[in-house]
Amino acid sequence: MYNATNSGSRMFRYEVVGLRQNAETDKTDYAIRNSGSQFFNVPYDRMNQFMQQITRWGGKIVSIHPLNGAAAPLAATTEPASNTSNNGAAPVKEKKVDIPVNIYRPNNPCIGKVISNQELVREGGEGTVKHIIFDISGTELRYLEGQSIGIIPAGTDANGKPHKLRLYSIASTRHGDFQDDKTVSLCVRRLEYKDKETGETIYGVCSSYLNQLQPGDEVKITGPVGKEMLLPDDPEATIIMLATGTGIAPFRAFLWRMFKENNPDYQFKGLAWLFFGVAYTANILYKDELEELQAKYPDHFRLTYAISREQKTPDGGKMYIQGRIAEHADEIWQLLQKKNTHVYMCGLKGMEPGIDEAMAAAAAKNGADWQEFLKGTLKKEGRWHVETY
């Protein structure tokens, strides 16, 4: 990447959106994920070169600001989200939090060791999904809820080169599943699909690699990355979570932090509402644990399933997550009027249009335009968090 070579160089801060993993970004040491803004400090004499690079990466420059002439190495970061109060006042700037990013890069990953690799899909379900716990006690890796880590599969690709890393959302809190700060967990579905020409079943390289890991196996880990999906510090916040399949991973971390850990600096007293879309009941990942939380904290945790192969919409169609949002859109709209309500979406990108349609109808009932509210209020205030694929 770029570095300032002249201590007198004027520096400019670029805000970039839309970066995506592709052949060009694969050449860098940065794990790129298409979620939220990324920020780069660039010296004046490298601006043209940098803008050409962003174009090749598929990104869009949103803004450029001078940094008072101070020279500094280029850094890829994301600004912390704004915190909000629950008294209807305008959002206030959140205090700076130490957010770890890229402690380990692809050219120098840390080594985690598999503790367990547990199947989450029950009999009668579709596909295979594993909950994998890694021991990271011998590393400097640390992370926050909502972040991701990279996994570099063992072996080489068809060209004899090392496999590229794949990013996975972390499914554990910052303290790990054993609350000892020594582990990190993932929720991984083995990718499989049919080749359109041959009809052959193709399995994902990294997901298959993770699927077959055994306790004691060593794995190369990078990261963490991501600031788009971080929880606000406000313990009175309303957190609405929309998940499909393994998109539950960051929300498991959220819920465990809210309800299963005893954190003196974070005693959650707000409302957490999870909408979870799956194909079959047997595909409800972490089902027993989620329903235990619902029973134990009924005033603070709501759980709504959308089971597409078993449930129907009023018009007889399959019940997807956007159908459940449509059922509750009026209530969600009212919750969004509170300045400390955040929405998090993780999973299949196909749910987004239906959710927008449902919320547009609710907004119209209240004389508002959904897209204007989404862009001018929720996104502007850092209260709409999306990580879909």
Share of the chain above pLDDT 70, in %: 81
Which of 168, 305, 320, 344 does the annotation list as catalytic? 168
Choice between 95 and 193, residue whose per-residue pLDDT is larger: 193
Terminal CA-to-CA distance of the chain, rounded, Å? 26
The predicted-structure confidence for 129-143, as pLDDT tens digits, reads as follows 999 999 999 999 999
347 assigned binding-site residue: yes
Q: What is the dihedral of CA 304, 305, 310, 314, to 10 degrees?
A: 40
Residues 223 and 102: their CA atoms lie apart, in Å, by 4
Which pLDDT band, with edges at 50, 70 and 90, does 36 fall under?
A: low
The helix or strand, by DSSP H or E, that contains position 193, with its residue range, turns out to be: strand 192-194
Q: Residue 174: which of 165, 183, 186, 162 has the closest Cα?
A: 183
The predicted-structure confidence for 235-257, as pLDDT tens digits, reads as follows 999 999 999 999 999 999 999 99
Query: Phi and psi of 159, rounded to 5°?
Result: -95, 5
Query: Phi and psi of 259, rounded to 5°?
Result: -120, -20
Residues 91 and 83: their CA atoms lie apart, in Å, by 6
Give the residue-averaged pLDDT of 79-107: 58
As a CATH number, domain 110-225 is: 2.40.30.10
Which of 169, 172, 185, 207 does the annotation list as catalytic? 169
The pLDDT of residue 10: 67
The pLDDT of residue 38: 73
309 assigned binding-site residue: yes
pLDDT at 345 over 60: yes
Give the residue-averaged pLDDT of 321-330: 94
Does the annotation count 30 as an active-site position? Answer: no
Which pLDDT band, with edges at 50, 70 and 90, does 88 fall under?
A: very low
Strand, coil or helix: what is 155? Answer: coil
For the chain, the domains span: 11-20+36-67, 110-225, 238-388
Does the annotation count 168 as an active-site position? Answer: yes
User: Which tokens is 168 given?
Assistant: 């996975």
Does the annotation count 286 as an active-site position? Answer: no
19 assigned binding-site residue: no
308 assigned binding-site residue: yes
Domains 110-225 and 238-388 share a fold: no
- CB neighbours of 259 closer than 8 A, spacing ≥ 6? 268, 272, 293, 296, 297, 300, 301
pTM of the model: 0.74
- CB neighbours of 93 closer than 8 A, spacing ≥ 6? 82, 83
Which pLDDT band, with edges at 50, 70 and 90, does 228 fall under?
A: very high
Give the residue-averaged pLDDT of 326-352: 95
Give the residue-averaged pLDDT of 277-297: 96
238-388: CATH, from 3.30.465.10, 2.30.30.90, 3.40.50.80, 3.40.50.720: 3.40.50.80
257 assigned binding-site residue: no
13 assigned binding-site residue: no
The pLDDT of residue 68: 52
| Identity of residue 63 | S
